[in-house]
């Protein structure tokens, strides 16, 4: 294309994109008008109005997040049709709703991502727009099916991967590659495993897959939402804006430590304790620990009943215990069976002694009247209540597990390894979370406590209803008063709209808030990132959260650092979804330049020789370096790196052992990316066995442009490919 021709095309495209933004603004205005009309609708059932208001509120949010890069490309078919591709779909209402802009998830948009010169998908040209806000800066063309055609198909991709990193992960909607698109649109109802080395985009592909599923199955999925599980809060913050930027907000983000609502993780387990807790063998330990709390009295317990004394002896308690256990009910619910048997025995004994001279079993009415009196006495008897609590206590997951950890005797009784002992039983770790969650089902509910909570909630609902009724009464001015004081009426209407807006805002957040706070909430789809770290017990928690077993699982077995984690995907998944999981791999590294990946690949070859490293899509032209420093030079060298990077655009991080000033451990950078990375004391990271090798591999592959290494001890042999320097660390 000549320069003049290109300029004319650019003006034409700018005009078209401007028209799309005008259409977007009109759609926003229309939706806002319908939203305000729905708020003030009369004669409509409240439930119907609320459904409409919530739907319109969601639509307004989707329209509000697509300004940047609304339209990012164009497809020209062999037949001369032009298809503009963007974040959402827009239609011409004046022309039979002809599509002006295709949603990137629509079937007709797929060729934008998968067409190649070998397989053009009936396309003649792919045009990629480069925009800044609403401004179309320029475009590049890839023409299919002709020699000598323009070959700028990778320009948009290279511009994206070379761009400085910001605070969070960006969506890749404009630069999805063919192997990624295949996974995003995969039609599979079970579990999809996406494995890929560092920088292959597996996380962002999984998030785009969620957006695609919400687009194609919105009605089914939106009511229950999607759960995204990531390794740590920093990672969740990093990825948190990807789905909102694609117009999707009904998503709950959690770490494995958040899966039990209200629990606060404050401690870390050692490798052996974490491995033990992650094993399915803990199911037997938990069952035995519960059984150990179902006791028999060492001595008969005397209970004053009527004018006689009856006793709870070991034989009575044993009969009651066996009946309660054989009921199949969870521990707390089975207590009713235990109580019923003990109560039956005590009242029978008391009736037999009280009425032995005058009462027979034929006199059923008198017998039952006497039993009723005795039951009422037992209900008020403090010793009876205390004895029941001692023999069959109501337990919470915390009140069972904490004392178990603190007692070597209880651990032995439950058949548990003494490595689980700790002085502070309530110092919860991430590995405790699946055990506490399991205990919710094994113990069952405390119905009395739940009823008290329900009563309190009902009182609160009644108070809110009375308040709302009072507000409506105040606002129900008769028309004459409104005519006399238009200003007051307008103020009241604005107040009403403000109340409605806040009510709608609360409702639109309600799914996420309720789901995060409700242990029994089930999701339509779950994304699990860094899934190689999850234990067998972790997977039980997640499967409970998604009964239909619809998962996108993301991980890299070579990066596993947890002894309890996955050594193969089948070992974790086959018991839950036999024959219903599919494996896909990503092989291209979009993050790590070839110069840095060569160093990481040398390390990978040492600790995982059978794993092939991903192939980098680009070079950065900057060689990664190493520098030997003394203890006294370390702090200055780190400060030099930090000062140098502060003057550059982009992000940087120092990764090293926790006692290195200003450094974060590699485990806290998993899934993150930075323009520049300084790794400190790699020899100490590596010294932590197989887990240390995986940690160092993670640290080396976080950089998108520049990598430096500071070492006080001799450099590990796997890193000898680094360029050794002396003096200042800036490059």
Residues within the annotated binding site for ATP?
A: 196-203
Write the DSSP symbol of residue 612: P
The helix/strand/coil state of 477 is coil
Where do the DSSP E strands lie in 630-691?
652-655, 674-680
Reduce the DSSP state of residue 211 to 3 states and report it.
Answer: helix
Name the pairing type of β-strands 308-312 and 301-305: antiparallel
Residue 84's nearest CA partner among 106, 115, 68, 59 is: 106
Q: How far apart are CA 720 and CA 626, in angstroms?
A: 9
Q: Angle at Cα 344 formed by Cα 341 and Cα 346, nearest 5°?
A: 110
**3-state DSSP call for residue 268?**
coil
* Strand ranges (E), 444-596: 525-528, 551-555, 581-586, 588-589
Q: What does the alpha-carbon distance between residue 249 and residue 462 come to, in Å, rounded to a whole number?
A: 31
For residue 493, what are the contacts with CB-CB under 8 A and spacing of at least 6?
Answer: none
- Nearest residue to 536 via CA among 273, 333, 276, 268: 276
3-state helix, strand and coil shares in percent for the chain, rounded to the nearest 5: 50, 15, 35
Query: What values do phi and psi take at 309, rounded to 5?
Result: -115, 125
Secondary structure class of 91 (helix, strand, coil)? strand
Which long-range contacts link 656-661 to residues 24+ away (Cβ below 8 Å)?
656/680, 656/681, 656/684, 656/685, 657/681, 657/684, 657/685, 660/634, 661/635
Cα–Cα dist 303/506, whole Å: 54
| 101 close to 90: Cβ distance less than 8 angstroms | yes
State whether residue 106 is helix, strand or coil: coil
Residue numbering of the annotated binding site = 196-203
Rounded CA separation 691/268 (Å): 15
Considering only CA atoms, which of 568, 576, 277, 264 is closest in space to residue 434?
277
Q: In a 3-state reduction of DSSP, which class is residue 68?
A: coil
Burial of residue 388 (number of CB atoms within 10 Å: 0-12, 13-18, 19+): buried
- Rounded-to-integer distance, Cα 242 and Cα 173, Å: 10
Distance CA 690, CA 669 (A): 18
Across 532-673, the runs of DSSP E, i.e. the strands, are 551-555, 581-586, 588-589, 615-616, 625-628, 652-655
Q: Judge whether 265 and 551 are in contact, CB under 8 Å.
A: no
Tokens 């330990």 belong to 285
Question: What are the tokens at 499?
Answer: 């109340």
Question: How many angstroms separate the CA atoms of 171 and 361, rounded?
Answer: 79
In Å, what is the CA distance from 483 to each residue of 472, 488, 495, 496, 576?
19, 10, 18, 18, 67
Q: What is the 3-state secondary structure (H, E, C) of 397-424?
A: HHHHHHHHHHCHHHHHHCCCCHHHCCCC
Cβ partners under 8 Å of residue 599, min gap 6: 624, 700, 707, 719, 721, 722
Rounded CA-CA distance 506/705 in Å is 43
- Strand 525-528 versus strand 551-555 pairing type: parallel
Task: Count how many Cα atoms sit within 13 Å of the Cα of residue 559 in the half-sphere of its side chain.
Answer: 29
């Amino acid at each position: 294309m000549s320069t003049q021709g290109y300029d004319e095309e650019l003006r034409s495209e700018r005009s078209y994109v401007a028209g799309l933004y005008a259409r977007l603004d009109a759609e926003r205005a229309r939706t806002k008008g319908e939203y305000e009309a729905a708020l003030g609708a009369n004669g409509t059932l409240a439930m119907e109005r609320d459904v409409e208001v919530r739907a319109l509120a969601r639509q307004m949010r989707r329209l509000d997040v697509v300004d940047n890069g609304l339209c990012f490309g164009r497809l020209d078919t062999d037949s001369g049709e032009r298809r503009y591709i963007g974040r959402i779909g827009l239609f011409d209402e004046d022309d039979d709703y002809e599509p002006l802009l295709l949603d990137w998830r629509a079937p007709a948009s797929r060729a934008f991502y998968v067409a190649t010169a070998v397989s053009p998908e009936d396309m003649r040209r792919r045009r990629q727009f480069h925009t800044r806000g609403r401004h179309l800066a320029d475009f590049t063309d890839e023409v299919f099916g002709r020699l000598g055609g323009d070959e700028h198909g990778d320009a948009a991709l290279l511009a994206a991967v070379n761009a400085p990193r910001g605070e969070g992960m960006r969506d890749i909607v404009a630069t999805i590659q063919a192997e990624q698109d295949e996974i995003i649109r995969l039609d599979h109802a079970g579990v999809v495993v996406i494995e890929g080395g560092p920088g292959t985009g597996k996380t962002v592909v999984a998030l785009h897959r969620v957006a695609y599923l919400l687009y194609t199955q919105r009605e089914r999925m939106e009511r229950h939402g999607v759960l995204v599980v990531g390794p740590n809060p920093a990672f969740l913050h990093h990825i948190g804006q990807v789905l909102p930027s694609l117009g999707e907000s009904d998503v709950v983000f959690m770490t494995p430590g958040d899966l039990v609502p209200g629990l606060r993780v404050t401690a870390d387990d050692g490798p052996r304790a974490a491995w033990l807790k992650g094993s399915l063998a803990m199911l037997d330990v938990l069952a035995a620990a519960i059984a150990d709390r179902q006791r028999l009295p060492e001595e008969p317990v005397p209970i004053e009943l009527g004018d006689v004394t009856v006793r709870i002896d070991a034989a009575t308690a044993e009969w009651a215990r066996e009946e309660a256990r054989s009921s199949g009910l969870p521990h707390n619910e089975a207590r009713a069976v235990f109580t019923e048997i003990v109560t039956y025995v005590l009242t029978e004994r008391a009736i037999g002694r009280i009425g032995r001279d005058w009462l027979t079993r034929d006199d059923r009415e008198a017998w039952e009247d006497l039993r009723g009196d005795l039951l009422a006495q037992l209900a008020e008897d403090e010793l009876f209540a205390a004895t029941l609590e001692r023999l069959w206590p109501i337990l919470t997951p915390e009140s069972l597990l904490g004392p178990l950890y603190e007692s070597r005797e209880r651990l032995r009784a439950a058949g548990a390894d003494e490595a689980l002992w700790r002085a502070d039983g309530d110092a919860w770790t991430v590995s405790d979370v699946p055990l506490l969650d399991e205990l919710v089902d094994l113990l069952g509910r405390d119905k009395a406590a739940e009823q008290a909570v329900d009563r309190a909630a009902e009182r609160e609902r009644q108070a809110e209803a009375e308040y709302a009724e009072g507000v409506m009464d105040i606002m129900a001015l008769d028309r004459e008063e409104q005519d006399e004081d238009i200003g007051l009426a307008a103020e009241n209407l604005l107040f009403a709209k403000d109340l409605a807006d806040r009510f709608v805002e609360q409702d639109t957040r309600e799914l996420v808030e309720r789901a995060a706070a409700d242990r029994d909430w089930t999701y339509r789809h779950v994304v699990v990132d860094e899934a190689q770290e999850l234990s067998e017990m972790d997977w039980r928690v997640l499967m409970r959260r998604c009964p239909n077993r619809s998962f996108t699982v993301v991980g890299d077995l070579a990066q596993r650092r947890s002894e309890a984690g996955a050594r193969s995907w089948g070992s974790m998944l086959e018991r839950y979804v036999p024959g219903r999981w599919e494996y896909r791999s990503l092989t291209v590294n979009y993050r790590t330049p070839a110069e840095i990946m060569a160093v990481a690949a040398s390390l990978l070859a040492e600790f995982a020789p059978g794993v092939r490293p991903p192939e980098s899509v680009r070079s950065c032209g900057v060689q990664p370096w190493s520098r030997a420093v003394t203890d006294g030079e370390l702090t200055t060298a780190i400060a030099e790196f930090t000062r140098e990077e502060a003057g550059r655009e982009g992000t940087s991080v120092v990764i090293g052992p926790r006692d290195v000033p200003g450094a974060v451990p590699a485990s806290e950078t998993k899934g993150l990316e930075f323009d520049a990375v300084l790794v400190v004391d790699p020899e100490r990271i590596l010294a932590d066995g197989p887990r240390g090798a995986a940690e160092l591999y993670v640290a080396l592959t976080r950089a998108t442009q520049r990598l430096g290494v500071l070492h006080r001890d001799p450099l590990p042999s796997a890193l000898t490919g680094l360029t050794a320097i002396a003096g200042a660390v800036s490059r």
